[in-house]
Structure formats: C-alpha cells, structure tokens
Structure 1
Amino acid sequence: MDLNTTFLSCDWGTSSFRLRLVERETLKILAEESSKEGNAATAELWKQAGQPPEQRVVFYRAIIQKHLKKLEEAVKTTLDEVPVVISGMASSTIGMLEVPYKPLPFSTDGSDLAVKILAPTLDFKHAVLLISGVKSDDDVMRGEEVQLVGCRFEKVPEKQLFLHPGTHAKHVLVQNGQAISLKTHMTGEFFSLLSTKSILAASVEEGGKLEEGSNLTWFEKGVHDSQQANLLHNAFLVRTNDLFKKASKPENYFYLSGLLIGSECHDLLAHTPARITLAGESVLVALYGAALHALGVDKQCPVQTKTAEGVTLTGQAAVLQHHLAGLKKS
C-alpha cells in the first residue's frame, strides 16, 4: 500500500462520525471506523471540559486521532502524513473550527469551495483540509456541497437538479458547471415530528419495507393525495385512516411519508429540470425515486441515483486534488 496515493476521509455530521482510509484513484476503502461522536456531542464534551478556546481544535483532533489509531491497527502500518479531508458540520459553530460559508454560485468541480488548511503538529502529524458549507441569500448547507461535487455534473447550459433527501432535504440547481440556487425542505424533520410527537404517532408504525405488502400502494396514494389538497388537511387523514381501519399502521407510515415527499416534490412538475441526480442513503433514495415515478417526473426527465458514500468520497477526492499543493506546504 502506497500511503502517498491515499487520503483519510472524515465525514463528520451533527450526530455521527466516520473516518475512512481511501485510495485516491480508485476510491477503494482500505479501512473504516465510525461512531456516534458527532459534532453536537463533541461540542457538549468540549463545553464540559472547560478548556480555553485556543484548545478547541486540539480537542477535536483528539477524537480523530483515537479513530486513526484503530485504522492503523487494521492496516498494520502508521498513517503519519496522510492528509485528512473533513466535510460536514466540523466547519460549523459546533465543529472544530468555524469556516465561513461559500456564497453561491460555486463550481461543481469543487475548485472554489471555502476551505481551511490546518498544518500538522507534533501531536497530530496530518495536514487537515476542512471544507466549509455553502449559502444563498436565505439558505445554507454543509456537507451536501461535497456530495454535489461528487456527482460530477456535466457542464451544460440546461438546468440540472441535485436532490439530496434527508432530515433537511436539499434541492440545488446546476447550470454551466455552477451550482446556482439552493432550497432546503424540512421533510425528514417534519416526518419525524409527526410520526413520533404528534397525535399521528398512535396511527403509524415503523419497521416495514417499501416493497412489502401494500406499502408501496399506500406510499403512492400519499404522493398523489399530496397534489390534490392542503398538507395540513391531508396529514389528519393519517389519523382517520387508522380510526376507520382503512389502512394498517405500517401502511399509514408509508402514506404519511408519501404525503410529505410528494409535497416536497410538487414544484418539480411545473419546473422540471433537464436531469435529476438523486444522491443519498439507499432507503431514502428508493422512497424519492418511487415518488418521482408516481408523479411522472421520471417520464419528463432522466433520473439517476447515486449512493451517499460514493458521492462523498468522490467529492472529497476532487476538492483534495485542488488543494494538494497547499497541503504539502503546510
């Protein structure tokens, strides 16, 4: 293994931490560690430690170092001087070092994203490339910008859509090799609140798969109903579906999901892009793919799907390539 052709990929979100040793050319994962030490939990530990502000980066680096040692044990060699590329919430107010957002537009090859290079130290012998998020006049994202870069959008004048499902789903329009607009939809968070904290919680049940039984039928019904009436009214149908025994609780779970995802995707019928790239976790990608099919959007434009892991690694590697010279000087 040639360490000069590898990098350490750190995907550090609000609630999770993932560190991988990756080959730059093939993006093959050579070793991997993950934990629940997301930036929110780490920020709370930092507060409890009561250390001075100038020690914050050191505190966060120690988290990375702990997992680095496990990677070294796995590959049976030291990983000193292998660069670390970090994306996600580590560049936010709860992260290791706040880096200002890059204003839209930004290049889809990742060449002009906002970054901060941290030089190696005696205790942490790795240059760090910390990638920041992106902002519009009224919206923000952190982490998804790297995944967008990893989609390798064609540089064409037609508008293409990057759709990243999640707690806060992102819709980013791409044109001529530039990401030009951003919209966040709180679909995942609303679904969580409605299905666990509202009166609807007693009418739904998690656990089934989309392709099981009548789940897909009820999901598609939710998508179609979302186009016909107000969401605030439609949501109450989840309760009456249960009260009148029209749907089982697992079926209702997918009906509610269809209502929310269908509402999110409503505008795509009137403003269909030339192409949609749907990138994210497999379960959510399957749901959104089914919603776009139910709405007929996939008949109006091609829809391609990509995995969250694949676009994250591809995006990080692309940004790293643009900053290799700076890392070597650090």
Structure 2
Amino acid sequence: MTPPPTFLSCDWGTTAFRLRLVERDTLTIIAEESSKEGNAATAERWQQARQPPEQRVAFYLNIVRQHIQRLEAAAETALAGVPVVISGMASSTIGMAELPYKPLPFAVDGSDLLTKTIGPTADFPHPVLLISGVRSDDDVMRGEEVQLVGCGFENTPEEQLFLHPGTHAKHVTVQNGQATALKTYMTGEFFSLLSTKSILAASVEEGGKLAEGRHQQWFAKGVLDGQQANLLHNAFLVRTNDLFQKNSKPENYFYLSGLLIGSECHELLAHLPARIVLAGEAVLVDLYGAALRVLGIAHKCPVTTKTAQETTLHGQLAVLKQHLAALLTT
C-alpha cells in the first residue's frame, strides 16, 4: 500500500490537546487544531460517562475525530486513512490506553520506543500509532522522548545533553546514539506555586519581556544568586526586594524565574556536556538560553536551540517511519 503524503500529528498533554495535518516530506503544517481538552479533563469526562472499560479508547478517539473533522473542513479534503501519531500523556494512566514505560537506554532515532497500533474502524477510519514514555530507575517522562528523537543527536561517544524546559524540566544525557540518563526538575511547577499561591505572589507581577527595561539585569542576578546552596532563603528575597522597594514587581518576577532556573542549571557547571540541545517553547528557551550565558556554560560548550513544534514533528515522523508498513496493514 502506498503511504499517504500526510500524517496527523497529535500532541496530547495533561492540560492541552493539539492536532496538526502535516506533509510527510516537508513537515509543512497544512492545518492545525488545539483545545484545552487535555488528558486530565478527558479522563474526568470518561469517568463521568460511566462507560465500560472496553469503550475507553473509542471515547478518547471520538475527541480526536471531532478535531479531524474540523481539519478536513479547513484543508478542504477528506482525511480517511491518514495515520494519526499520538505522543504525550495519552499513553498514561489518564490517557486512552496505559502503556508501560520504555526503560533507559533508548535509541535516539526512536527505533526502540514502545508503541501501540490501533486499527481503523467505521467510527474512526484512521490507523493510530500511540507512543509510550521512558523511565529510569527513579524518573519518568512522556512526550519529551519524542522531542529528543526529533533533535537529531549525533552518534558520538561524547556526552550530549537534551534540555527541555517546562513545568517539569527534563535533562537527558545522550551518548553513543542512546539516551542513557534522565533527571526531572520541577522548576516550572515551583515557579507557578511560588508566584501565585505563596506569600511571594503579592511581590511579583507577570508582564513584559526579558529584553525590556531592567528585566534582564534582575533575571541575571537571580541566576547568579541561584548558585548559592540555600534556595529557600533566596526565595524570601523576592518579598524583601518588594518590601524595601529595590525593584518593581515585574522585575521581581524575572528575579524569581532566574533564581529557580539558575538553581536547576547549577549541576551543569560541575559536569559540562560536550553539547546542549535546548528545545521547547520559545519564551522558556529564551530564558534558559540567557541563564546558560550568564553562568558561562554557553561559552564553554555549544548550545543549539530548537522549537517544541519542530522537534515534536521530526520525532513523531521518525517513529512513524519505523512502523508505517505495519500500521497501514492494521
């Protein structure tokens, strides 16, 4: 069977859903749909529906189908038979079908990631490739492994680092074509809690860009202060900065961000990789790139930046190619 020239890329996280119609040869996005129908909200709806367990996959795929119908209208073409590649939390306990984690190491070309194929039906006329996550002895990730595959790491004995900023930032060591070690940092979640739920919430204010005013100066100060051992004390300085009117609330916002990102990156000073690939959402990539420069890390090893969209599409396509023949015969 001749493979269709397009595929449907589904990035289904805990809180967000994104579906793209993509040309396979060029990775050009033809049409795109997104919503807040993340796996957490979908799992709650599934529990409220009280359907039998064997209907769970169909329940989740019905959401995907509704978005595909909107893509068909936008692209003015029928998409029946076009394969759907799904990565993220859809393979977790809150997803459509729980898959076991692939134990480290895994090949950075995506050839040995754990997957599940789901054949087309009358209600959902698309073959589905569901990609599972990865685990170490004490850590896990789902979704970021696909982005790592999409980075195109060199097969070299030198240690390289995949750095993915986010709610739960990931640092993955890559060596000899294998991802060999994984560390998660709750940087984004801690920042959200401190800036919205703690006593510090009244001392910070979101707004503005890193390059504006004194934001970069206060961010850099936070990064450097974050090299000190006692983060718990440093965090309280956010309150006293405001109390003593040392800076503005937006400047304090960037100071707190610098504190946490600087603390996360502290270990890199003692164990520099040969190369860092920094991949994720643009705002976070800019902040982490600035932090790596402040710490002098970017001057000692090359840092390549990539977008989350770019790495997700490249990674999903790489895994799809490994399974395309089998997928189209399901």
Aligned CA distance change for structure 1 residues 229 and 244 (closer, same or farther; 3 Å): farther
Q: What is the rounded CA distance, in whole Å, between the counterparts of 2:34 and 2:11 in structure 1?
A: 9
Which residue of the partner structure matches residue 48 of structure 1?
48
Alignment match, 2:34: 34
Aligned to 2:88: 88
The C-alpha deviation readout for 1:49-104, integer Å capped at 9, x for no partner, is: 01000000010010000001001111111100000000000000000000110000
Aligned to 1:180: 180
Q: CA deviation at 1:229?
A: 4.3
SS in 1 for 2:124: coil
2:81 alignment partner, SS class: coil
Instruction: Give the C-alpha shift of residue 314 in structure 1.
Output: 0.3
CA RMSD of aligned residues (A): 0.9
SS in 1 for 2:112: coil
Report the Cα distance in structure 2 between the residues aligned to 1:243 and 1:285, rounded to whole angstroms.
Answer: 31
SS state at 1:21 partner: strand
Matched residues in 2 for 1:226 and 1:82: separation? 48
Question: Is the partner of 2:299 in helix, strand or coil?
Answer: helix
1:267-282 equivalences under 5 Å are: 267-282=267-282
C-alpha distance in structure 2 between counterparts of 1:4 and 1:54, whole Å: 30
Q: Distance in 1 between matches of 2:146 and 2:261?
A: 24
CA distance in 1, matches of 2:195, 2:328: 49
- State the distance in 1 between where 2:278 and 2:294 align: 15
Q: Secondary structure at the match of 1:314?
A: helix
Give the distance between the partners of 1:324 and 1:3, measured in 2 at CA. 8
Distance 2:176 2:228 in 1: 35
Q: SS state of the match for residue 208, structure 2?
A: coil
Which runs of structure 2 are paired with 1:125-274 in the superposition (5 Å)? Answer: 125-274=125-274
The separation in 2 between residues aligned to 1:22 and 1:77, in whole angstroms, is: 13
- Structure 2 segments unaligned to the other structure (5+ residues): none
Whole-Å Cα distance in 2 between the matches of residues 99 and 307 of structure 1? Answer: 27
> Is the 1:238–1:256 Cα contact (8 Å) retained in structure 2?
yes
Corresponding residue pairs, total: 329
| Percent identity (aligned) | 75
2:3–2:328 contact (8 Å) kept in structure 1:
no
Question: 2:313 corresponds to which residue?
Answer: 313
Q: In the alignment, does 2:275 pair up with 1:295?
A: no
User: Which amino acid is the alignment partner of residue 130 of structure 1?
Assistant: L
Give the partner amino acid of 2:121: T
Question: Aligned with 1:129: secondary structure?
Answer: strand
Q: Which amino acid aligns with 2:7?
A: F
Distance in 1 separating the partners of 2:59 and 2:68? 15
Aligned residue type for 2:6: T
Residues of 2 paired with 1:251 and 1:145: CA distance? 34
Runs of 5+ unmatched residues, structure 1: none
1:8 aligns to what?
8
1:3 deviation in Å?
Answer: 7.7
SS of residue paired to 1:213: coil
TM value normalised by structure 2: 0.99
- The residue identity in structure 2 corresponding to 1:73 is A
Letter in 1 for 2:38: G
Q: Secondary structure at the match of 1:299?
A: coil
1:71-82 equivalences in 2 (<5 Å): 71-82=71-82
- 1:16 maps to a residue whose letter is A
Aligned mates of 1:328, 1:44 — CA distance in 2:
32
CA contact (8 A) 1:21 1:31 kept: yes
SS of residue in 2 equivalent to 1:171: strand
Counterpart Cα distance in 2 of 1:324 and 1:207: 45
Cα distance, 1:228 vs. partner?
Answer: 2.9
Maintained 8 Å contact 1:3/1:79? no
Aligned to 1:58: 58
Alpha carbons of structure 1 residues 230 and 261: separation in structure 2 relative to 1, 3 Å? same
The answer to whether the 8 Å contact 1:31/1:74 transfers is: yes
* Corresponding residue SS for 1:172: strand
Alignment match, 1:120: 120
Return the TM-score normalized by structure 1: 0.99
8 Å Cα contact 2:149-2:315 kept in structure 1: yes
